[in-house]
Structure 1
Amino acid sequence: MDLAELPAYVSAREVGQPRWVWDDTSRWYPPLLAAGVRVERCHDLRLARRILRHAPAVAPGWEQGEQSEAWDQLRPSTSAGDDDDGGLFAADDLTEHLRADLEDARQQAAAAASSESGRLRLLVAAESSGALAAVEMTHAGVPWRSDVHEAMLTDLLGPRPPRGARPAKLEAAAEQVRRTLGAPRLHPDSQAEVLAALRQVGVELPSLRAHALQAVDHPAAEALLRYKQLVRLFTTNGWAWSDDWVRAGRFRPHYQPAGSATGRWSSNGGGALSFPAVVRPAAVADDGWVLVVADVAQLEPRVLAGMSRDRALAHAARGADLYRGMVVDGAVPTREEAKFALLGAMYGATRGQGGQLVAGLTRRYPAAFGLVEEAARTGERGGTVRTLLGRGSPPVDAHQEADEAGDASGNREAEAARWRAYGRFTRNFVVQGTGAEWALCWVADLRNRLWRLAPSGPVEDRPHLVLFLHDEVVIHAPAAQADAVVEAAHGAAATATRLLFGDFDVDFPLSTSVVRSYAEAGKSAPVPTLSE
């Protein structure tokens, strides 16, 4: 088939709701969207191969065979969402001769032979649907008011400087740092120089992290905080960022589904997953449209309650605030202690107040706290842990293996510390990874519900996802359909909960806002300032 005919071919067959099988969604889907063709379901062989290779419930060696080395080298396309779509179908030497049918047969056989076939198939389907959503979000883009962004940059940084120069207010902030430290030749971007200058004025700090500076009672601390905030704005979301990522009134980041070991997404361009509050006023819905922002409260603690089937913790999770529910249940005196203890259990706090609280709540919530504790012990022994749907933790790095040379006692101590660190990773992996699975199922169902809210038109003319931040989604929708979109978000959350936890009763309450600007979401207060 001539590849120019592919959009018409796919469009004609979409009425039968097929599942398209291809090597990489980020390679094939952008040109289809550009031609106005939306795909409901697919099987992304690249993403599925990664899941099945590391899944503990899949027999090792299944991936070997014809073209296996080429499949292992396959990486996501970096072209997704570019305006110039002409070359997107042109494959390079690696992908040009890949046999999707061979790889699909291997994957289907591996999943079918697994003792957890159903869960793995659900994970692969959700991962593949997430890949479709990622491309659609790049294609549609976040509605963006460049004039608002420009005015904000000018107000905070000064007029746009020539390329290679820094704006006037940033330079003024740097000079203020030098004055407060009495160091006229100081390079404020050099941590070593700044720490040395602070010592000269009697301030000893281990680093220049914000929390360390905020604890210092010296004019230089405030000046440094302001300078660092301005540098971050200029370098991360300044004029160069706008030139690269804002086109035709839309911010178009590139997402990377399963960009981390836990399955959480990352961004391979645009910084979509670190969307600072200071620039959110520029994310403004089109005339007659709104942004519907939905986020789930305390996703990972609720996931822990569900995957461990801990009825006591699930009871505390009923309602909008799980931590407050733990207080009402009498587990701890204060909300702060509840949060401290539960996050400590998931992230490995074993000493001090956190350790004492974890020990106490282990008796109150034995199934939940026992699950993360067992995951930690498994990691410390060098074992593999899995998420609820079967994603496996990555193998231990080679540098964590024991070094038999040199001082034996020193090596044993270093080795024990490395294994404890890996245990902290596996402790969190099972919860964070299952949280990512819940969010994937939420997005997968939501994108289809949104599509069905309009009778016709391409993705960008219907209610559609424009942003996904782990436990939060932003939807661009006609104002008249705002209520239906909110209902769809809640319905998709219920679907995700049922898919993962079946009939186990655990709440995943959503907070929703219908706003014109992203900065207004969840707020009745004014637009956020630079320090927020």
Structure 2
Amino acid sequence: MPYVLLLDDPDRAGGTLLQDAADDGTPDGPPRRVPARDLPAAVARAEADRPRWVWDDTARRYPPLLRAGVRVERCHDLRLCHTILRRSAYGAGSDLARAPRGPWDDQRPDEPPPTEPDLLDELTLLDDRGDGPVPAHDAVDAPLDVADELARQLAAVAGSTQPGRLRLLLAAESTGALIAQEMRHDGMPWDVTVHDALLTDLLGPRPRGGGRPARLEALVARIREELVQPTLNPDSQPDLLRGLRLAGFDVASTSKWEIRGIDHPVRDVLLEYKTLSRLLSANGWAWMDTWIHDGRFRPEYVPGGVVSGRWATSGGGALQLPAAVRAAVRADDGWRLVVADAAQLEPRVLAAMSGDGAMAAAGRQADLYQGVVDAGIVATRSDAKYAMLGAIYGATTGASAALMPQLTRAYPQAVALVEAAARAGERGEAVTTWLGRSSPTPDAAWQAELSAASAEGAAAEDVRAVRRRARDWGRFTRNFVVQGTAAEWALCWMASLRRRLRDVPGRPHLVFFLHDEVMVHSPAPVAEEVAQAVRDAAVEAGRLLFGDTPVDFALDVSVVESYDQAK
């Protein structure tokens, strides 16, 4: 029984139809109706045969099973997999990729747009342009043909240029969807007493009836005094910008970057106010009341919520937990937190993708940046970090750009890979991650502007503007191939770890994931065994993606009682 399909009852009589399917997705025997109340038990019984459950949306189908105490080992999330296969260059000739848009291309109608703090503004802008989740069709209530969609997806993979890589990507993406729901169900352990004490220490006592805490009120008074503006409201960007300009400061915005350039005592006061105000709004008492219940934080993860494959959130802000509140993340009595993050993951992924042996050698120690220094490429660890991140993110000015020639001579294969991705983006072409997630391409208007700028007689000003936009897109594609492949490695890491944790007594379980960092809540007696499972899973993830690669995917692993104690 390779697959079991969960189908909506087409006659809407209630319950669910379960349909066994063969390796190619074709039905195997007649479907069987299961009343809604009996579905968890039916799924639990079928799990003995280790099927891969096929359903439209893990975020819809899995939570009721979890609430009933049923967990599944494997699934195939048709929506997530459809999104990958629609765009993947590996399967560009498939019927699925060439078909007109349909209901499988739509976001779930009850799902808000995801958010994610990303290192590239381009990724956020893509969602704004409409390349992210899209509004649902008017016919969202029409039943979806799960069996037909599975067959189309399996045919697209089988006929692709890289079926092995795509199968791994779809399995990892679907397992990530299971993990996201399991982490939300289990929740991250959170001590509200500690959280309240942290806020009180930084902000003052919680004000009654809302308003600013005492520390923020005191800072507001100082800001008004320094700027000689007794009614200024620093929470209003227009008011603050106007106030700064009236005080004689030539600033274009109220960003921290702009404020740091002010040579005046108000600078430090404003920066402190912004930091504490952000803490209050993002993780203050109101946030605690909304998101912490029964000693658990349960954020709403959105797997594949960013075009690169990184996760996003649609509630809770789990991807932005500041250091100031991490002491509130505390293991239960008799338990520990096993916290691990992959050291310099993206440079290591670049070394593995490009097959650059010299860069792989630099990463054979825990600190890849120090390895670059020890190889005599640059003088300091700081230089190594600037140079490496400049290569990945396309820095064109400053220290990163100045160090690029040294990096290019030392690691020609790695630099050539990201340079080729950048040039493809500048031409408006798609690029593809290691396992097969392809980037969106600019719209037709962008392409037309690029062609017009290349034509004889184009105005110089127009040419400069178009070339600037092309370079911006090139920086996006340069990063896409590395960041997206790093996201694939992280999914395989988590999937491998999840499987290994099933064999550890006491039910240790994943409770947090942030791009290159995981957290497991573990019974104290098996915490070291869990830590080793984390390390072994990282090795397996590297082998799954890159085979017998010389690249080491180093981890920093801590066994702690609270998150702030982790390395």
- Deviation per CA, 1:470-521: give whole Å up to 9, x if none: 0111110100011110010001001100011101210111111111111111
1:478 aligned residue: 523
1:436 aligned residue: 487
1:89 aligned residue: none
* Closer, same or farther: CA 134–62 of 1 in aligned 2, 3 Å: same
2:268 aligned residue: 222
1:312 aligned residue: 358
Separation (CA, whole Å) in 1 of partners of 2:425 and 2:239: 40
CA contact (8 A) 1:401 1:415 kept: no
1:132 and 2:183 aligned: no
CA contact (8 A) 1:402 1:411 kept: no
State how 1:446-465 maps to structure 2 within 5 Å.
446-454=497-505, 462-465=507-510
- Alignment counterpart, residue 83 of structure 2, candidates 50, 62, 65: 50
CA contact (8 A) 2:354 2:414 kept: yes
Secondary structure (helix, strand or coil) at the match of 1:273 reads helix
2:67 aligned residue: 34
Shift of 1:154: 2.5
Separation (CA, whole Å) in 2 of partners of 1:68 and 1:401: 21
1:326 and 2:372 aligned: yes
In the alignment, residue 545 of structure 2 is paired with which amino acid? L
* Closer, same or farther: CA 329–401 of 1 in aligned 2, 3 Å: same
Q: Which consecutive unaligned segments of at least 5 residues does structure 2 have?
A: 1-33, 113-137
TM-score w.r.t. length of structure 1:
0.90
State how 1:201-216 maps to structure 2 within 5 Å.
201-216=247-262
1:423 aligned residue: 474
Secondary structure (helix, strand or coil) at the match of 1:63 reads helix
Secondary structure (helix, strand or coil) at the match of 2:414 reads helix
1:291 and 2:291 aligned: no
In the alignment, residue 317 of structure 1 is paired with which amino acid? G
2:285 aligned residue: 239
- Alignment counterpart, residue 180 of structure 1, candidates 205, 226, 247: 226
1:151 aligned residue: 197
2:154 aligned residue: 108
In the alignment, residue 285 of structure 2 is paired with which amino acid? W
Separation (CA, whole Å) in 2 of partners of 1:95 and 1:438: 36
* Closer, same or farther: CA 352–78 of 1 in aligned 2, 3 Å: closer
Which range moves more in the overlay, 107-116 or 208-217?
Answer: 208-217
* Closer, same or farther: CA 437–469 of 1 in aligned 2, 3 Å: same
Separation (CA, whole Å) in 1 of partners of 2:97 and 2:558: 49
* Closer, same or farther: CA 199–66 of 1 in aligned 2, 3 Å: closer
CA contact (8 A) 2:91 2:97 kept: no
Separation (CA, whole Å) in 1 of partners of 2:151 and 2:433: 25
CA contact (8 A) 2:355 2:413 kept: yes
CA contact (8 A) 1:26 1:76 kept: no
TM-score w.r.t. length of structure 2:
0.85
- Deviation per CA, 1:397-445: give whole Å up to 9, x if none: 4553444699843322221111111011000100000000000000011
Secondary structure (helix, strand or coil) at the match of 2:144 reads coil
Separation (CA, whole Å) in 1 of partners of 2:386 and 2:202: 36
* Closer, same or farther: CA 398–181 of 1 in aligned 2, 3 Å: farther
Separation (CA, whole Å) in 1 of partners of 2:425 and 2:562: 44
CA contact (8 A) 1:180 1:223 kept: no
2:235 aligned residue: 189
* Closer, same or farther: CA 28–416 of 1 in aligned 2, 3 Å: same
State how 1:365-514 maps to structure 2 within 5 Å.
365-398=411-444, 400-403=446-449, 408-454=459-505, 462-514=507-559
Separation (CA, whole Å) in 1 of partners of 2:258 and 2:428: 35
Shift of 1:66: 9.9
Secondary structure (helix, strand or coil) at the match of 1:57 reads helix
1:458 aligned residue: none
In the alignment, residue 104 of structure 2 is paired with which amino acid? W
Separation (CA, whole Å) in 2 of partners of 1:359 and 1:158: 51
CA contact (8 A) 2:86 2:97 kept: no
CA contact (8 A) 1:23 1:46 kept: yes
Separation (CA, whole Å) in 2 of partners of 1:143 and 1:71: 36
* Closer, same or farther: CA 520–241 of 1 in aligned 2, 3 Å: same
In the alignment, residue 425 of structure 1 is paired with which amino acid? F
1:342 and 2:393 aligned: no
Shift of 1:355: 2.4
CA contact (8 A) 1:288 1:478 kept: yes
2:123 aligned residue: none
Separation (CA, whole Å) in 2 of partners of 1:444 and 1:77: 27
Secondary structure (helix, strand or coil) at the match of 2:531 reads helix
- Deviation per CA, 1:321-350: give whole Å up to 9, x if none: 111101111111221211111111111123
1:84 aligned residue: none
Separation (CA, whole Å) in 2 of partners of 1:111 and 1:95: 28
Shift of 1:73: 1.7
- Alignment counterpart, residue 105 of structure 2, candidates 56, 67, 72: 72
In the alignment, residue 53 of structure 1 is paired with which amino acid? R
Secondary structure (helix, strand or coil) at the match of 1:150 reads helix
Separation (CA, whole Å) in 1 of partners of 2:265 and 2:193: 34
In the alignment, residue 486 of structure 2 is paired with which amino acid? G
Shift of 1:392: 0.1
Separation (CA, whole Å) in 1 of partners of 2:288 and 2:111: 19
Shift of 1:305: 0.2
1:518 and 2:563 aligned: yes
2:122 aligned residue: none
In the alignment, residue 423 of structure 1 is paired with which amino acid? G
Secondary structure (helix, strand or coil) at the match of 1:26 reads helix
1:87 aligned residue: none
* Closer, same or farther: CA 351–171 of 1 in aligned 2, 3 Å: closer
Which range moves more in the overlay, 407-416 or 172-181?
Answer: 407-416
Separation (CA, whole Å) in 2 of partners of 1:221 and 1:398: 45
2:26 aligned residue: none
Shift of 1:451: 1.7
Secondary structure (helix, strand or coil) at the match of 1:197 reads helix
2:36 aligned residue: 3
Separation (CA, whole Å) in 2 of partners of 1:150 and 1:33: 31
* Closer, same or farther: CA 127–77 of 1 in aligned 2, 3 Å: farther
Shift of 1:93: 6.6
* Closer, same or farther: CA 224–287 of 1 in aligned 2, 3 Å: same
Shift of 1:34: 0.8
In the alignment, residue 213 of structure 1 is paired with which amino acid? I
CA contact (8 A) 1:27 1:77 kept: no
* Closer, same or farther: CA 337–308 of 1 in aligned 2, 3 Å: same
1:262 and 2:308 aligned: yes
Separation (CA, whole Å) in 1 of partners of 2:100 and 2:390: 45
CA contact (8 A) 2:85 2:97 kept: no
* Closer, same or farther: CA 320–77 of 1 in aligned 2, 3 Å: farther
In the alignment, residue 414 of structure 1 is paired with which amino acid? A
Separation (CA, whole Å) in 2 of partners of 1:157 and 1:191: 21
In the alignment, residue 62 of structure 1 is paired with which amino acid? D
- Alignment counterpart, residue 20 of structure 1, candidates 49, 53, 58: 53
